[in-house]
Amino acid sequence: MQLSVIGIGYLGLTHAVCMADLGHDVLAIDVDENKVGLAAKGEVPFFEPGLEPLLSKNIDAGRLRFTTSYREIAKSARVHFLCVGTPPSRDGAADLTYVRAAATALAPHLRDSCLIVGKSTVPPGTARQVLSELRAAAPAGDKIHLAWNPEFLREGSAIQDTLRPDRLIFGVTSESDEMILREVYQDVLDGGTPCLAMSLETAELVKLSANAFLATKISFINEMAAVCEAIGADVTALANALSYDDRIGRRFLSPGAGFGGGCLPKDIRAFRATGRELGLDSLDRFLGEVEAINMARRARLAALAREMLGGSLRGKRVAVLGVAFKPNSDDVRDSPSLDVCQQLARAGAVVSVHDPAAMQNAAQLCPDLHYRSSIQGAAQAADLVLHVTEWPEYRAIDPSALVAVVARPNLIDARCVLDADLWRAAGWSVRVLGQP
């Protein structure tokens, strides 16, 4: 099928590449000429394993092209995927400026019937509003159809998540729109992916409530970590024991410095704003607590660092391992680690940072930290090593080799995954978040 993808950020570029790889003829557009130029040359402007070769493969096969012309995409496609950003506005609500701007730019070129498919994360009610605005502005009028197909991909496994998602959600207003979406995703559905059709509003809500649930699960186990610290219990053993209960499950029960990134925090704040708009104070309060617990873990980590260094961080050298908000990503948006780095630096510590992929992005946001290209370089003369993002290479560190480069062998494992016994045997003082 001939498809267009509007917005080639993280979501849109991944979606465009994967749709082309499924055999569709894809034309992708962005207002950012630089991004369009890079993508057309086969370059991915962010870190995502496997995406660049798949981009080049599909460009070479002639199935994937890029443009900055709305006229061109309207002419070439009958299904348009809307993948623009929905950043937070000042009060936390989703800023729909880009969604509106894309619809406004596309509408005058829509002369025939077509299906616009929203993938961005938006508050319930957005889809129906965008549909009526499009119908009012487009020459094709009521022949414009709109569906909402929220996206659940995770950075670091974006291709797999797009081609083999847990489920496909189709928010639709007619059976014929559902059939078009089924045709687009035929190969994915043939692979056994469940597909659920529902109203536009329910589909919009599935995405927000899924993220709210995941954030709640993370904050739950992190609050249990705080309880464990207070009573001398072990949160890792606790999480493991809980996870044997099928009703609870294993995933998202890892204690740590809390959630971050470009999606969960902003979506929680946007959902709280929706709660306030709807007069549902309990939703706002409930998610407010999830957020507060999340932020408290960052403060707890900084406090533990201070405690381990004898009550003051002034002039102390701290090596921080990992600043991406999670491994396999270069994303530092709302990164718990970067927040902790800043708290330590504000308290007078000299903070050296290592990350396998995210240092360039981190340096743009926090130029005052010291960035080191090796773990040893970051740990040089450190009074404390802080393990915050669980990249696989950090599990492979030889503690008896690293002990030789630090000034004082103090380790805090904020992810509860390093072999504490091994580190202790190599002479380190070890504290693990959520453990005695």
Which residues contact ligand NAD (rule: CB under 6 A)? 6-12, 29-32, 35, 83-86, 98, 101-102, 105, 120-121, 151, 153, 155, 262-263
Cβ 76 vs Cβ 27: under 8 Å: yes
- Ordered strands of the 350-354 beta sheet: 370-371, 350-354, 317-321, 384-387, 410-413, 429-432
Tokens encoding 33: 């000429």
Of 6 and 228, the one with the shorter C-beta distance to ligand NAD is 6
For residues 98 and 259, which CB has a smaller minimum distance to ligand NAD in the complex? Answer: 98
d(CA 110, CA 197): 26
What tokens appear for 125 in the block?
């009610």
Pick 156 or 409: Cβ nearer ligand NAD = 156
Per DSSP (E only), the strands in 110-172 are 114-118, 144-148, 168-171
Contact 391, 415 (CB under 8 A): no
Residue 69 or 174: the one with the smaller Cβ distance to ligand NAD is 69
- Tell me whether residue 10 or residue 428 sits nearer to ligand NAD (CB atom): 10
Nearest alpha-carbon partner for 338 in 290, 310, 301, 312: 301
Query: Which residue number, 252 or 376, has a Cβ lying nearer to ligand NAD?
Result: 252
> Which phi and psi (to 5°) does residue 239 adopt?
-60, -40
Distance between CA atoms of 216 and 287, rounded to whole angstroms?
Answer: 8
**SS3 state of residue 79:** strand
Q: Residue 104 CB, nearest distance to ligand NAD (Å)?
A: 8
* CA gap 414, 393 in Å, rounded: 15
Q: What is the DSSP letter of 352?
A: E
Strand partners of residue 67? 29
* Cβ-Cβ contacts under 8 Å for 231 (sequence gap 6 or more): none
Candidates 83, 114, 263, 341; catalytic one: 263
Q: Are 360 and 394 in contact (CB under 8 A)?
A: no
Q: Coil, helix or strand for 412?
A: strand
- CB-based contact 323:339 (threshold 8 Å): no
Residue nearest to ligand NAD (CB): 9
The closest of 282, 337, 263 to 305, measured between CA atoms, is 337
Nearer to ligand NAD, 9 or 124 (CB): 9
Compare residues 45 and 53 and give the one whose CB is closer to ligand NAD.
45
User: Which alpha helices (DSSP H) does 309-358 contain, by range?
Assistant: 336-346
- The reply to whether 416 belongs to the active site is no
CB of 118 to ligand NAD, least distance (A): 9
Task: Tell me the C-alpha distance between 131 and 201, whole Å.
Answer: 13
Identify whether the C-beta of residue 10 lies closer than 8 Å to the C-beta of residue 155.
Answer: yes
Nearer to ligand NAD, 153 or 369 (CB): 153
For residue 67, the SS3 value is: strand
Query: With contact defined as beta carbons under 8 Å apart, do 150 and 267 qualify?
Result: no
Over its C-alpha atoms, the chain yields an Rg (Å, rounded) of: 24
Q: Which residue has the tokens 């970590």?
A: 225
| Calpha distance 83→155 (Å, rounded) | 15
Task: Please report how close the Cβ of residue 248 comes to ligand NAD at its closest, in angstroms.
Answer: 25
Residues in the chain: 436
Instruction: Give the catalytic positions in this structure.
Output: 263
